Structure 1
Amino acid sequence: MSEQREYPWGPAAATGVGSLPGEDPAEAVRIVFGELPELPHLPELPARGVGADMVGRTAGMLVEIPVEVRPSGWRVADRPGRDLARAASHLGRDLDALEEHAGTYTGPMKIQVAGVWTLAATVEGRSGDRLLADGGAVRDLAASLAEGVAAHIERVRRRVPGARLLVQVDEPALPGVLAGTVPTASGFGRLRAVPEPDAEDALRTLLDAVRAAGAAPAVHCCAPGAPIGLLRGAGADALSLDLSLVRRADYDAIGAAVEAGTGFLLGVFPGTDGGDTRVRTADLSDPAANVSVIRELWRRLGFAPDQLARAVAVTPACGLAGASPGRARAVLAACVRGARALRDAPE
């Protein structure tokens, strides 16, 4: 791996996966930019309800594919309605808060969108089955999403002109799409497995649009069996993984990605606290011990220790929407301390 490799973040970077507890976007922005100075992100607040969830937030960005909420979930609609208006309103308030409290920020910053395969496995077509069941619908979805995300990048850039944007594409459903485990609308069957080349092509459409818009593309997959080679082949500059789900069988693919210059956002801090209102900090108090699993992986892969803090950013294991506010703050602070421990004590 080249010593001069440039990553979408600086050394000793830490960031969140995306979601936080609560409903106040201004407070969320203040927390993120206060706790994560090296790589803040645009927070997501799904507790606000319809349109603030991961799927609804991104579905609101689609171009010429309106959606609405049915009892079974999000479905393609004939025309835009109140559900899309809610999604747009939530996102608009988030961007207003971002501009007000972080508009003068300069440096790397991350935003998140749901990926094409996660949308295809979740959103229903007009017939009631998931878009994943129709190859033509998936192609239309990929094109619409690429155009919508490019426009979203421009909106964020206008609010924070000094930000160098990293776009995290969330694909938790992708392993199930590849394995053929996504249920049909009835729940009694499973939709066909998508061949890896087709999955890679559709994802590449989105990642290419991100890069063409002047941002760095990353992919987050917090499910077992993340297809590391496919994600890298689709053009991701960085991969975001829950390290507890990485298997020994993944080591070769991770090593090849590191060798090729791919960055990693590795999740090591559990986000939830079992609903306890007290902040449990005992498991977060030793940053060097917390990130030892990252250091051990790096050692097993055989890469130079002094490159670790540049190639890897530290994150929670997944989103923090289910955490108490105190736990969320503690986890973000622990990620920062862990990232600095990787830099200051690489061995």
Structure 2
Amino acid sequence: MIPSPGLRATGVGALPHRDPDEACRAVLAAFPEVPYVPTLPTRGLLEAIVFADAEYLPGGVVRDGRLVVDRSIDPSEAMERILLDYLEQNADPYRVGEAYGSGFHAMMGRDLSDALLVKCQVTGPVTFGMQVVDETRRPILYDPEYADLLGKLLGLRARWCEGAMRERMGARATLVVLSDPYLASLGSAVVPVDAGVAASAYEDIAGLLDGGLGIHCCANTDWAFILGLEPAVVSIDAWTYAREFLLYADDVARYMEAGGVVAWGVIPAEYSIFAAEKPDAFFSRFQEIRTRATETIDPDLFDRQSLITPTCGIRNANEEEAVAIMAATASLSRRLRGEGP
């Protein structure tokens, strides 16, 4: 698990910035206690979700703006190497290249040893496996070989990121969050995702990490299943889905009692929605959530085990608008902790 955040604030992932140094400065200005490594998809396709973590995918190629597995490239040798590296916990070959993570490289030049916690994101295995397809457009999550490989490949990526946060940024505590919106497909008859496959991949990733491992899903899903995986953090779009999440209040209470943290995404990351609200609206929404949650959860426990975040990565905004969303997140956190109006 991770240190109790006590209603501190952080971000989720994407920023619209093109200059990675400026993106890092914006993050550190807003969230000095729990900084996160920004992803910068505006810089190019390779820094977008899924693409950013496909650097070492066996047979992976980009065609017409999509990631596909080219079956004409024999993946067996590369797959065997990943399995061996996983068994040996050899993450060094899976480092983040600068073309895939310019924000990560920019943040590695900073001393974050005073932070309570340092956070980054890696694509979740379900989203990765559903977005990458073969030549027949079949998601590779439905291929048993690739389905088994994904957790190990992403686990090695996550382990490298964890080590870099400790060794290159001086982080005292680390959190790698799996960005996995396709977890909304659990139980779907239209785009089915097998819960057993998802759980196995998550366990493979968790098995490689020494620090915290979290899950971010910005849609509604089977929250009992997610909480049952016992991640260090469950990150949700609380602006939209708090009511659905709190249908599982007993599960949330047990999760928090065991040391789990909920990251309440209560500040809209969509600027048009954010700008239409008055600042007090975010405070009122969170207080409504807290009132409902503490019917089941001890109020002190709720406050200790809560983080405040935007609903998701900030993509549909310009840099100034993104900074405003982050500032509102930090301001709400201070207000909730009695440190500001």
TM bucket normalised to smaller: 0.7 to 0.9
CA contact (8 A) 1:166 1:218 kept: yes
1:272-310: CA deviation from partner (whole Å, max 9, x where unpaired)? 2239xxx93852256642521332233232x23233331
Residue 252 (structure 1) aligns with: 250
Aligned length: 314
Distance in 2, Cα, partners of 1:76 & 1:286: 46
Residue 228 (structure 2) aligned to one of 224, 233, 236: 233
Task: Read off the aligned partner of 2:10 and give its amino acid letter.
Answer: T
SS in 1 for 2:50: helix
1:266 aligns with 2:261: no
Q: CA contact under 8 A between 1:55 and 1:114: conserved in structure 2?
A: yes
**Which of 327, 331, 336 does residue 337 from structure 1 map onto?**
331
In the superposition, the TM-score normalised over structure 1's length comes to 0.81
Match of 1:124 in 2: 133
Kept in 1: contact 2:110–2:169 (CA 8 A): no
Question: What aligned pairs does 1:12-23 form with structure 2 within 5 A after superposition?
Answer: 12-23=7-18
In the alignment, which of 110, 113, 116 is matched to residue 122 of structure 2? Answer: 113
User: Per-residue deviation at 1:18?
Assistant: 0.8
Q: Counterparts of 1:42 and 1:264 in 2: how far apart (Å)?
A: 19
Contact kept? 1:200, 1:233, Cα under 8 Å: no
Cα distance, 1:116 vs structure 2: 0.8
Gaps of 5+ in 1: 1-5, 81-86, 183-192
> Does the Cα contact within 8 Å between 1:240 and 1:267 map onto a contact in 2?
yes
Residue 66 of structure 1 and its aligned partner are, at CA, apart by 4.6
Deviation at 1:163?
4.0
Structure 1 residues 58, 163: CA separation in 2 closer, same or farther (over 3 Å shift)? farther
Q: Secondary structure at the match of 1:12?
A: coil
Give the counterpart letter for 2:197 in structure 1. D
For residue 307 of structure 1, what is the aligned residue in structure 2?
Answer: 301
Q: Distance in 1 between matches of 2:314 and 2:207?
A: 29
TM-score by structure 2 length?
A: 0.82
Residues 137-191 of structure 1 deviation map (CA, whole Å, 9 limit, x = unaligned): 2002222222232123223333212342111111100121542433xxxxxxxxx
Q: What SS does the corresponding residue of 2:173 show, helix, strand or coil?
A: strand
Q: 1:88 aligns with which of 89, 92, 97?
A: 97
Distance 1:123 1:272, change over 3 A: same
For residues 124 and 177 of structure 1, the distance between their equivalents in structure 2, rounded to whole angstroms, comes to 19
Identity of aligned residues (%): 26
Aligned to 2:82: none
Counterpart AA for 1:261: G
Q: Gaps (5+ residues) in structure 2?
A: 76-95
Which residue in 2 is equivalent to 1:37?
A: 32
Name the CA distance, whole Å, in 2 between partners of 1:103 and 1:344: 25
